[in-house]
Structure 1
Amino acid sequence: MPTPSRILVPVDLMEGSRSIIDYAVQLARPFNAAIEVMHAWEPPQYVAPDLLVAAPGWNPQSLEKTALEAARKELDVLIAPIDSPRPITQRLEVGEPATAVLRAAEAGGFDMIVMGTHGRRGLPRLLLGSVAQKIIARAHCPVVTLHVHEGK
């Protein structure tokens, strides 16, 4: 198996995202591999992404623009303190997360994906699906998954 040179790290911006990025950096370090941290925002099914969001004193913006700006800020906060031999790039995508990750991995020439899994079982998994499972089943490259413990 060839050594990784480009690692994609999809995160959901929930608790545990930082530990996944830290793990990817440690994995990439001996290979001097490039890391790209990605977040996929899926528009809610029950409202249009171009719905305007407004509050007193704000300029109205689309829900999509508001969500992507918030995600970009969260990614900046996650990545800024990380000591990595190479700069970590970031990417935001709109769409169903598993599909967006698979599309980005293929188009970007990534040779490894490092991501978290919440390990849900039963009804929560049935209702929420498993992004990690979909990616593992269809990825063109190796996928490393880390169990993310959810805060109580």
Structure 2
Amino acid sequence: MPTPSRILVPVDLMEGSRAVIDYAVQLAKPFNASIEVLHAWEPPQYVAPDLLVAAPGWNPQSLEKTALEAARKELTTLIGELNAPGPITQRLEVGEPAAATLRVAETGGFDLIVMGTHGRRGLPRLLLGSVAQKVIARAHCPVLTLHVTEEK
């Protein structure tokens, strides 16, 4: 089995994202593998992404632009807090998270995906779906999943 040289780490920026990135960093060390952290923002289905968001003293901008700026800031902070031996790149995509992950993994030539799974069951899983399950089922490369717990 070939050793990983490019690792994709999709995160939802929720609790547990840091643990998944930390795990990928530790996994990449012995192989000198590069890491790219991906966050996919899916526009709400009930609101147009070009809806203008405004507050007093604020320039109005689209919901998509506002969400991506907030995600970029959070991702930069998250990666900046890591004690990684090498550079970690970050990427933001717009679209359904599983589809975005699969597209980036294939076009970017990644040979391993490391991602978290919340382990939802029943109605929450039915309503929210499982991004990890969709990625595992269709990925062209191995997928390592880590169970992440949500703080209550």
TM over 0.5: yes
Count of equivalent residues: 152
Q: CA deviation at 1:86?
A: 1.5
Determine the structure 1 residue equivalent to 2:124.
Answer: 124
Residue 112 (structure 1) aligns with: 112
SS across alignment from 2:146? strand
CA distance in 2 between partners of 1:102 and 1:39 (Å): 12
Q: Which runs of 5+ in 2 are unaligned?
A: none
Counterpart AA for 1:59:
N
Alignment of 1:37-48 (within 5 A): 37-48=37-48
Cα-to-partner distance string for 1:81-102 (whole Å, 9 max, x where unaligned): 2122210000000000000000
SS at match of 2:40: strand
Instruction: Give the letter aligned to residue 32 of structure 2.
Output: N
| TM-score computed with the length of structure 1 as normaliser | 0.99
Query: Structure 1: which 5+ runs fail to align?
Result: none
Matched, 1:35 2:35: yes
Moved segments of 4+, more than 4 Å? none
Secondary structure of 2:134's counterpart equals helix
What TM-score, normalized by structure 2, do the two folds share?
0.99
| C-alpha separation in 1, matches of 2:83 and 2:150 | 25
Amino acid at match of 1:100: A
Q: In the alignment, which residue of structure 2 is the partner of 1:17?
A: 17
Q: What's the counterpart of residue 83 of structure 1?
A: 83
Give the structure 2 partner of residue 100 of structure 1: 100
In structure 2, the residue matched to 1:54 is 54
Deviations 1:20-69 (A, max 9, x none): 00000000000000000000000000011000000000000000000000
Matched, 1:2 2:5: no
- Alpha-carbon separation, structure 2, partners of 1:9 and 1:54: 33
Displacement of 1:138: 0.2
Question: What RMSD over aligned residues (CA atoms) do the two structures have, in Å?
Answer: 0.5
- 1:105 CA drift (Å): 0.2
- 1:98 and 1:131 in contact (8 A); partners too: yes
Q: Give yes or no for contact 1:10–1:101 (8 Å, CA) kept in 2.
A: yes
Q: Distance in 2 between matches of 1:92 and 1:38?
A: 6
3-state SS of 1:43 partner: coil
Structure 2: distance between partners of 1:17 and 1:139:
20
Letter in 2 for 1:128: L
Q: Percent identity?
A: 86
- Give 2:61's aligned amino acid: Q
